[in-house]
């Protein structure tokens, strides 16, 4: 068991997120501290309303904390303009959603191309990178299928291809198996595991224990704070703190 | 950026192709708007040019001088009632005003014209030879009378095409035949090329020209020798017209010995003034037609805005995904603007086709002259682009301002 020194990818310090719903103040996150290193495979668990979605939105640079500091790859993301946040999402983060969120009536290849399209790469490069990403998730030969022609598991694999086409440093998967059967869930988790082995940091939000078991670290959120944070045996061999 | 725009246009086309009926109905508004603008402006321009052509048939840079109305004891008579203009006036004007290239005079009466067993009533004009050149009359057969004919009061006549049509059988040769007016036999030595209707709707070809002297002495008969119905003058350059008019007024006033407080006993009109009234009418017509057509373009634009708002709502989740993977606000804005403009530009192109076609049909069916100028087409096209831009801006901006988290959660 070697202790490899890995750079911190995510540093959250005293993160607060406060919403105002009418006259009522809702504290979704209450002074949360969290450090995630590069190459980790983290499962975030918690009941609905625990604040885990809010945390995911902040980690994914879709939202900004009310108070506190969030540094991603040593960039202080807290006070950036929306366009700069869009750039960071494009360069650093890949999203995988529960409901796949593919663009309808658009081929798998074009869906996987999308982040590169906004990066402004030449079309040829977009296509070759996107089809490489599709091959990597085992969808070679299905580039021109539209989402409706693919099974749920295949659609989620297209979504993963779209997430990793930009070679992000962080992959955020929000209940990626929530809409899938056991067989497909297992396949998707194996792909995520494989990607993590190749060095991508994966953060997984789930409430299923057997899905969380794929991760090597398990964080439980409750009432906007971290209830428990423990290393599990996991299946990943890369990170051992 | 060019890659982005190009791919966005392709995406927009695909989105529109996906909802063909919806896109088609939306474009219909723009098609009708642009089509109407082009058709209406073409008709307006056609009318304007018809007027200009008619004005041109009066001759180039023509100034007309008519006798003024008489006023006896405070009762004003009809214009031209006074007999104050003479051949000598014309000669003097030409001598004293160097900018005038020529002057002419004429006298008119409506008389019966007889050719064998046929007859008709037409205006008979006794004119100086210069009249025909000032008024740009040309000949389809034969030619004009000469100064010698004038001096000798020769018994010759020139006929307008309408008179020929009325008095001669088809195939009968008018040239060289002899017609009679008030029993005076006149040999036809020329037939005039048709000019068509005047700006007042009169048939300008229903006319007979005689040498002034012939008309005065042998046909009309006159109590005052040398009195004329009207004087005509022409300048070489159109810019000289206002100055010429002023000088004519001065010369005429001094010739007629008018005191400073007396009104002119003549009226000066130029072709430009006559044309202005008519042109003003057709201008009003064009502006009015264009205003009506613009309303349909506006309605078309609102249609685009409406359908785009529906599209933004329908595709909220897609917008959220695009934002999540790195689309900036401008990307989303441009995407929807391009969709709006694709609708309006495609609609505009079809509209141009439709407008040109309906203008042509108007000419064929109703016989109205229409002119489709490149300017009109370019303006209409520009308008359709502008409509897309203007009415696309609000929905596009709405899309660009969506919060990515809410957009992703949208059901």
Q: How far is CA A201 from the centre of its chain?
A: 9
B46–chain A nearest CA distance, Å: 49
B342 CB neighbour count, 10 Å cutoff: 21
How far is it, in rounded angstroms, from Cα A200 to Cα B291?
63
How far is it, in rounded angstroms, from Cα B245 to Cα A120?
70
The pLDDT value recorded for residue A240 is 43
The pLDDT value recorded for residue B47 is 81
Cβ within 8 Å, pair B4-A120: yes
B388–chain A nearest CA distance, Å: 24
Mean pLDDT over residues B243-259, rounded?
A: 88
CA-closest candidate to residue A199, choices A177, A228, A219, A170? A170
| pLDDT surpasses 90 at B368 | no
A4–chain B nearest CA distance, Å: 32
Closest-approach residue (CA) in chain A for B331: A118
> Angle of helix B87-96 relative to helix B241-255, nearest 10 degrees?
130
Mean pLDDT over residues B361-386, rounded?
A: 87
ipTM of the complex: 0.92
Tens of pLDDT, residue by residue over A153-168, are 999 999 999 999 999 9
Cβ within 8 Å, pair A120-B7: no
Cβ within 8 Å, pair B323-A83: no
The domain ranges of chain A are: 40-64+81-231
A104–chain B nearest CA distance, Å: 8
Tens of pLDDT, residue by residue over A69-116, are 999 998 899 889 999 999 999 999 999 999 999 998 889 999 999 999
The pLDDT value recorded for residue B77 is 61
Sign of CA dihedral B341, B343, B344, B348: positive
Residues whose CB is less than 8 angstroms from the CB of residue B162 and which lie 6 or more positions away in sequence, other chains included: B122, B194, B203, B205, B206, B207
Closest-approach residue (CA) in chain B for A122: B3
Contacting B with CB below 8 Å, chain A residues are 57, 60, 62-63, 82-83, 86-87, 89-91, 95, 97, 101-105, 114-115, 117-123, 162, 166
The pLDDT value recorded for residue B394 is 95
Residues from chain B that touch A123, judged by Cβ atoms under 8 A, are 3, 7
The pLDDT value recorded for residue B1 is 62
Tokens of B83: 């007999």
Mean pLDDT over residues B161-180, rounded?
A: 90
Closest-approach residue (CA) in chain A for B318: A103
Q: What single DSSP character describes residue B264?
A: P
3-class DSSP string for chain A: CCCCCCCEEEEEEEEEEEEEECCEEEEEEEEEEEEEECCCEEEEECCCCCCHHHHHHHHCCCCCCCEEEEEECCEECCCCCHHHHHHHHHHHEEEECCCCCCCCCCCHHHHHHHHHHHHCCCHHHHHHHHHHHHHHCCCCCCCCCCHHHCCHHHHHHHHHHHHHCCCCCEEEEECCCCCCCHHHHHHHHHHHHHHHHCCCEEEEECCCHHHHCCCCEEEEEECCEEEEEEECCCCCCCCCC
- Averaged pLDDT of chain A: 90
Residues from chain A that touch B334, judged by Cβ atoms under 8 A, are none
Interface size between A and B, measured as CB pairs under 8 A:
65
Q: What is the dihedral of CA B97, B98, B101, B105, to 10 degrees?
A: 20
End-to-end Cα spacing for chain B: 32
The pLDDT value recorded for residue A203 is 96
CA-closest candidate to residue A116, choices A125, A104, A105? A125
Residues from chain B that touch A82, judged by Cβ atoms under 8 A, are 328-329
Determine which of A85, A90, A110, A118 to mutate to test the interface with B (most B C-beta atoms within 10 Å): A118
Residues from chain B that touch A63, judged by Cβ atoms under 8 A, are 405
Cβ within 8 Å, pair B321-A101: yes
Residues from chain A that touch B324, judged by Cβ atoms under 8 A, are 60, 62, 89, 95, 101
| pLDDT surpasses 90 at A136 | yes
B267 CB neighbour count, 10 Å cutoff: 14
How far is it, in rounded angstroms, from Cα B395 to Cα B398?
5
Contact call for residues B262 and B24 (beta carbons, < 8 A):
no
The pLDDT value recorded for residue A174 is 93
H helices within B325-373, ranges in order? 329-366
How far is it, in rounded angstroms, from Cα A220 to Cα A52?
9
The pLDDT-based confidence of A234 (bands split at 50, 70, 90) is low
The pLDDT value recorded for residue B69 is 66
One-character DSSP codes across B142-166: E----HHHHHHT--EEEE-HHHHHH
Domain boundaries A40-64+81-231, CATH class: alpha beta
The pLDDT value recorded for residue A3 is 43
Residues from chain B that touch A91, judged by Cβ atoms under 8 A, are 326
Cβ within 8 Å, pair A115-B326: yes
B324 interfaces chain A, CB cutoff of 8 Å: yes
Nearest to A89 among B317, B326, B405 (CB): B326
The pLDDT value recorded for residue B242 is 85
The pLDDT value recorded for residue A228 is 93
Nearest to A101 among B1, B14, B408 (CB): B408
How far is it, in rounded angstroms, from Cα B276 to Cα B283?
10
B367–chain A nearest CA distance, Å: 51
Half-sphere exposure of B192 (CA within 13 A, CB side): 25
End-to-end Cα spacing for chain A: 9
A40–chain B nearest CA distance, Å: 22
| pLDDT surpasses 70 at B37 | yes
């Amino acid at each position: 068991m070697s202790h490899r020194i890995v750079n911190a990818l995510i540093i959250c310090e005293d993160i607060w997120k406060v919403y105002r719903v009418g006259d009522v103040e809702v504290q979704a996150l209450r002074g949360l501290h969290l450090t995630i290193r590069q190459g980790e495979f983290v499962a975030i668990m918690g009941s609905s309303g625990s604040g885990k979605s809010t945390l995911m939105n902040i980690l994914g640079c879709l939202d900004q904390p009310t108070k506190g500091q969030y540094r991603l790859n040593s960039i202080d993301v807290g006070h950036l303009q929306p366009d700069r946040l869009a750039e960071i999402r494009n360069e650093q983060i890949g999203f995988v959603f529960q409901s796949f969120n593919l663009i309808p009536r658009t081929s798998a290849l074009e869906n996987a191309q999308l982040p590169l399209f906004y990066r402004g790469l030449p079309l040829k490069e977009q296509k070759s990178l996107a089809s490489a990403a599709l091959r990597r998730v085992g969808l070679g030969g299905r580039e021109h299928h539209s989402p409706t022609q693919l099974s749920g598991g295949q659609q989620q694999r297209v979504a993963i291809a779209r997430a990793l086409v930009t070679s992000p440093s962080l992959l955020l998967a929000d209940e990626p198996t929530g809409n899938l059967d056991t067989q497909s869930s297992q396949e998707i988790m194996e792909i995520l595991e494989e990607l993590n082995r190749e060095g991508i940091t994966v953060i997984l939000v789930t409430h299923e224990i057997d899905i969380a078991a794929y991760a090597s670290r398990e964080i439980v959120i409750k009432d906007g704070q971290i209830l428990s944070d423990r290393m599990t045996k996991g299946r990943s061999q890369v990170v051992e703190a | 950026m060019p890659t982005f725009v190009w791919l966005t246009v392709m995406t927009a086309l695909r989105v529109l192709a996906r909802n063909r009926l919806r896109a088609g109905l939306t474009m219909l508004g723009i098609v009708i708007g642009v089509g109407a603008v082009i058709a209406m402006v073409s008709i307006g321009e056609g009318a304007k040019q018809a007027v200009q052509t008619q004005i041109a048939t009066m001759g180039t840079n023509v100034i007309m001088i008519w006798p003024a109305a008489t006023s006896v004891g405070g009762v004003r008579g009809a214009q031209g009632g006074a007999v104050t203009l003479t051949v000598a006036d014309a000669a003097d004007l030409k001598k004293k005003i160097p900018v005038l290239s020529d002057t002419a005079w004429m006298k008119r009466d409506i008389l019966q014209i007889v050719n064998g067993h046929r007859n008709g009533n037409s205006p008979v004009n006794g004119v100086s030879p210069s009249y025909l050149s000032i008024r740009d009359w040309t000949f389809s057969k034969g030619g004009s009378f000469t100064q010698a004919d004038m001096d000798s009061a020769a018994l010759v006549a020139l006929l307008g095409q309408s008179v020929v049509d009325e008095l001669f059988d088809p195939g009968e040769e008018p040239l060289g035949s002899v017609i009679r007016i008030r029993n005076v036999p006149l040999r036809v030595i020329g037939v005039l090329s048709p000019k068509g209707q005047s700006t007042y709707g009169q048939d300008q070809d229903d006319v007979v020209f005689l040498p002034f002297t012939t008309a005065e002495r042998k046909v009309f008969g006159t109590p005052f020798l040398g009195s004329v119905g009207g004087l005509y003058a022409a300048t070489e350059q159109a810019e000289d017209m206002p100055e010429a008019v002023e000088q004519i007024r001065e010369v005429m006033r001094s010739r007629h010995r008018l005191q400073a407080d007396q009104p002119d006993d003549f009226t000066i009109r130029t072709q430009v003034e006559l044309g202005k009234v008519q042109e003003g009418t057709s201008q009003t017509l064009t502006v009015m037609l264009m205003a009506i057509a613009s309303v349909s373009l506006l309605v078309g634009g609102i249609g685009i805005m409406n359908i785009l708002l529906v599209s933004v709502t329908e595709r909220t989740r897609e917008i959220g995904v695009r934002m999540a993977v790195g689309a900036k606000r401008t990307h989303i804005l441009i995407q929807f603007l391009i969709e709006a403009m694709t609708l309006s530009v495609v609609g505009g192109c079809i509209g141009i086709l439709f407008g040109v076609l309906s203008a042509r049909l108007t000419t064929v069916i109703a016989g109205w002259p229409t002119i489709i100028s490149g300017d009109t087409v370019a303006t209409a096209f520009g308008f359709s682009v502008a409509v897309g831009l203007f009415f696309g801006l609000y929905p596009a901006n709405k899309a660009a301002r969506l919060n990515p988290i809410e957009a992703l959660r949208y059901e």
